[in-house]
Amino acid sequence: METTAKTKKPIYYGWYVCAATMFIGFVAIGARNSFGVFVVPMSEEFEWNRFTISAAAAVGVLVNGVSQPFMGRIFDRTGGRKLILISLAVVAVGTALLALTFHILFLAFVFGIVVSMAQSGPATSNTAALMSRWFKRLRGTAISINSAALSLGGLIMVPLSMYLLQVTNWRVAWIGLGIIVLSALPLAYFFLHESPADRGLHPDGDPEPNGGEDGKPRREVVGPLEVEQWRDSFKSAPIWQMSASYFICGTTTFVLSVHFIPYALDRGVSGSTAALIFGFMMGLNIIGALGAGILSDKIGGTKNWLALAYFMRGIAYIVLLTVDSVAGLWIFASIAGFSWVATPVLTSSLTADVYGLKALGTISGFTFMFHQFGGFGSVLLAGALYDLTGSYTIPFALVGALLFPAALSAFSIKERKYSIRYQTPISNAAAIGD
């Protein structure tokens, strides 16, 4: 009994940090993904057309994207804890203030600017960078667990928002969402720490690395493209290949966050069923995100899994537009669900593996900015084309078709040449001139 007690290894603290960031993302991103629930009731009360309310949502996507690199820079310089705490508080208050909406400009300012800028603080680009500090061998797995927040937010928060809306009204529902976001603050305050060194630990909970055979400390392996300054990353191809694919990723996910429920309503589906289908899709994301992280850690070939995720989503869009029934919506959700959050997981992990950790928050912020730019364009385009044609067929067909070039762009990344996972101390020493 005494021997067992001595050898029992405690849970690595990084997993507590991972759980905290997952819950933070769950409430913050879940509140954002719930915007689609409010599109129809707010439009009906204020007599807005679909383009008008889409414009307010699109401004939010754009502001969130533009602010991402700046928040990433703050994260790299400060460590991120204070940034996440302050941003989370602003998201909570701003979400609740949406209950006071009386004009489209108020919605555009509070949601489109204040809340959207604040959401760049606890964004997955920053929390994934935090996970990259705490984990190395299990980086993909940790980022996938952290990114499961995207799925949980859709699985639980969207149906919950619809329920609050149906039993009360849209104003009370916004207040309820704000209170839920606020509940994450204590968890963030007590459990978030900048790096393993703050707790006297090493990444993955491993012991301090031993020296080499000659007794000297082993040289840390450095990837061929690892950078000190974020600007240097844009001198190489992988960042552009990932950013191009991520741009298309944004076009195909944000358009669904805002327009999927209205699309389902147009197909004759009830509001509760539409929210349930969206929640089901987000639930499958949990499996997709976790599976993507584990597969990239165990098998490798992160860029291949990334390409597969984009290809699967392209197939899902074909089903959405060709199977004209409620069953088509469920089939679409089943296929798309596995790929939605897999792409952020794999992109974040691959970015860390190729460019290192020193400027990761800023670099990830830039790639995520491209993601948001894509989302901005697709949300606005879908609203405008719906008003012109009375249908979402054309915008959904356009964004869906882009997924196949995105898959090709991801697949063409030379991962084995540039990722630190495939470097050795010998080849690295030669690369740096030893």
* Domains identified in the chain and CATH numbers: 13-194+221-431 (1.20.1250.20)
H/E run at residue 135: none
Tell me the pLDDT band of 428, cut-offs 50, 70 and 90: very low
- For residues 358-378, average pLDDT: 85
Strand partners, 217: 211
Residues in the chain: 434
The residue with tokens 């089939």 is: 331
Question: 135 pLDDT exceeds 70?
Answer: yes
pLDDT above 90 coverage of the chain, percent: 26
| Range with top average pLDDT, 173-182, 193-202, 221-230, 423-432 | 173-182
CA 132 – CA 356 distance, rounded (Å): 9
Q: Is 217 helix (H, G, I), strand (E, B) or coil?
A: strand
Contacts 24+ apart (CB under 8 A), 227-235: 227/355, 227/356, 227/358, 227/359, 227/363, 228/358, 228/359, 229/359, 230/69, 230/73, 230/76, 230/359, 230/362, 230/363, 230/366, 233/355, 233/359, 233/363, 234/366
Identity of the residue numbered 362: T
CA 155 – CA 143 distance, rounded (Å): 19
Task: State both tokens at 98.
Answer: 């949406």
Question: 213 pLDDT exceeds 50?
Answer: no
Using CA atoms of 297, 367, 305, 154 in order, give the dihedral in degrees to the nearest 10.
90
Q: Is 415 helix (H, G, I), strand (E, B) or coil?
A: helix
The residue with tokens 């754009």 is: 62
Largest CA distance in the chain: 76
- Tens digit of each residue's pLDDT (9 = 90 or more) over 303-341: 999 999 999 999 999 999 998 888 889 999 999 888 877
CA 259 – CA 257 distance, rounded (Å): 6
- For residues 366-381, average pLDDT: 86
> Considering only CA atoms, which of 34, 41, 21 is closest in space to residue 111?
34
Please give the DSSP secondary-structure letter assigned to residue 216: S
